[in-house]
Chain A
């Protein structure tokens, strides 16, 4: 039942989260070099979030729904699917769009970011939101895995 796609999905999602955490830190005291780095890291974050979406989506549609979901729903922690999978699969969809917005701001205002505190604080805020949401996805992923494990223990 365990699939390498889960690890790949989680790894890419974490990469996205860490990338935007990195952007947040670079924007705490922006210099031209830090802004340049933040722009590259934000682009990596956006790509990672999109790849995580596609890999996770492939696994969710082709494996999870048929093999894992019925086991969790029949196990001792059905809430892990009914609350957390359902929330995760939909709130996750916000992340790539928030990432694009963040990257676009850094790219467009690359030169102003060093002096304009309004823009740098905006980039920090959106980076923090992306980081919290993405790590929230990881937490929900853990709860879903825990629901699957507890169901398998009952079956064993």
Chain B
């Protein structure tokens, strides 16, 4: 497996989940669009994430170099994960009090 491509795919999927989550709350048309895809917006987010993850991996699997800096890949993915989780959590706190 190409770990560099998998790292890019993981961080972009996490970013996509975060964007879909917040956009879905701020824009009812987007949430309705997601609901229309699978019957429930959350199911659509999961399915889109899974397909996106596979597609991005396949795309970068061909393009990216085979020289892998695992530490760098993991550090970037970890920052994406931590910051995205915090953004989602703080967004819902803000929504609750707003």
Contact = CB atoms under 8 A, between A and B. Distances in A.
Contacts of A108: 1, 3
Given A57-B43, A61-B42, 18 more contacts: A53-B46, A60-B42, A61-B39, A61-B43, A83-B93, A86-B88, A87-B85, A90-B17, A93-B17, A97-B9, A97-B49, A97-B53, A101-B6, A104-B1, A104-B6, A121-B71, A125-B78, A129-B82
A82 interface: yes
Contact of A118 (B1, B40, B70): B70
A119 interface: yes
Contact of B74 (A60, A97, A122): A122
Counting from the closest, the 9 A-B pairs by CB-CB distance are: A122-B74, A90-B21, A104-B1, A86-B92, A83-B92, A122-B70, A91-B85, A118-B71, A87-B89
A133 B88 CA distance: 13
A119 B88 CA distance: 30
A52 B93 CA distance: 25
Contacts of B13: 97
Interface residues of A, number: 33
Interface string A76-119: 00010011001101110110011011001101110000000011
A93 B46 contact: yes
A108 B70 CA distance: 11
Given A94-B81, A105-B3, A129-B78, A82 B96 contact: yes
A133 B3 CA distance: 22
A44 interface: no
Interface in B70-89: 70-71, 73-75, 77-78, 81-82, 84-85, 88-89
Main secondary structure of the interface of B (DSSP, over half): helix
A121 B75 CA distance: 11
Interface of A: 53, 57, 60-61, 65, 79, 82-83, 86-87, 89-91, 93-94, 97-98, 100-101, 104-105, 107-109, 118-119, 121-123, 125-126, 129, 133
B70 A105 contact: yes
Nearest to B16: A93
A126 B42 contact: no
Most buried by A among B3, B40, B75: B3
A108 B68 CA distance: 11
Interface string B26-56: 0000000000000110110110010001000
